[in-house]
Amino acid sequence: GTLVPVLSAVALSTLAVIPAQAQVVNIEDGGFTFTFGGQINRGLLRTDDGVETNDFFVDNDNSSTRLRARGAYDFGNFVGGAQIEYEFEFSSSNSVNQLDSDISSSVTNERKFEVFAETRFGDFAYGQGDTASNGVSEADLSGTGLGNNSDVGLIAGSHLLRDAAGNLTDAEIGDFFSNFDGNSRLERFRYDTPEFLGGFVASASIGEDDSNDIALRYSGTFGDVRVQAATAFAETETRDRLSGAVSALHEPTGL
């Protein structure tokens, strides 16, 4: 039968988020620094698929609940260190649907596990972490990313569509949307240049499974207008993608 995408913005507009961030430990001793902290990001998701309305207590997958630890030492000519970040999601906003709202379901993912060096020649990182192109389609100065990220599937992406007769199908909202971003977090080697030409930073990474990319980011201010932009070319074993975004904020008015 014909699929009727009657969910969509309804699910997104009714996500009430309750984020809380904390830096639990912050140690500085000579050239050594260590920080430990994280965030809890719970939300209430209400969806209406045209037949029934459901409420879900979820972990907001736009910026999941997570813990992180970072240690670094200043050697004088460069700063070297390591960081670890894990996420803990209970009933993720992108996994619940009309047939499954189990609050006990949980997902634990290793987000970052890497060593890094920050030098006057640029920044280097090795291990699992953000590739050069990750996030280039999400340049956004609106401050609304927690409630409405460009990746629609992160909120109610597993909700099932109904056919013309109102019956649930196997098709999910997330099957029909993509934020067309670059590569995600992978085991990779990454390099970022120092800032040049008043706000530009170029990046490149070589990752597992032939996932390689290059990116160019810009951040700057023109009078009362703040600008953020990014673009990247990313390749994997199955696809090549050119993507990017630009955002401008008029600071006196918030437009």
* Residue 102 confidence (pLDDT): 72
Share of the chain above pLDDT 70, in %: 91
Query: Three-class SS string for the chain?
Result: CCEECCCCHHHHHCEEEEEEEEEEEEEEECCEEEEEEEEEEEEEEEEECCCCEEEEEEECCCCCCEEEEEEEEECCCEEEEEEEEEEEEECECCCCECCECCCCCEEEEEEEEEEEEEECCEEEEEEEEECCCCCHHHCCCCCCCCCCCCCHHHCCCCCEEEECCCCEEEEEHHHHCCCCCCCCEEEEEEEECCCECCCEEEEEEEEHHHEEEEEEEEEEEECCEEEEEEEEEEECCCCEEEEEEEEEEECCCCC
Give pLDDT tens digits for 112-130: 999 999 999 999 999 999 9
Give pLDDT tens digits for 48-93: 999 999 999 999 999 999 999 999 999 999 999 999 999 999 899 9
Give pLDDT tens digits for 165-189: 999 999 999 999 988 999 999 999 9
Res 140 pLDDT > 60: yes
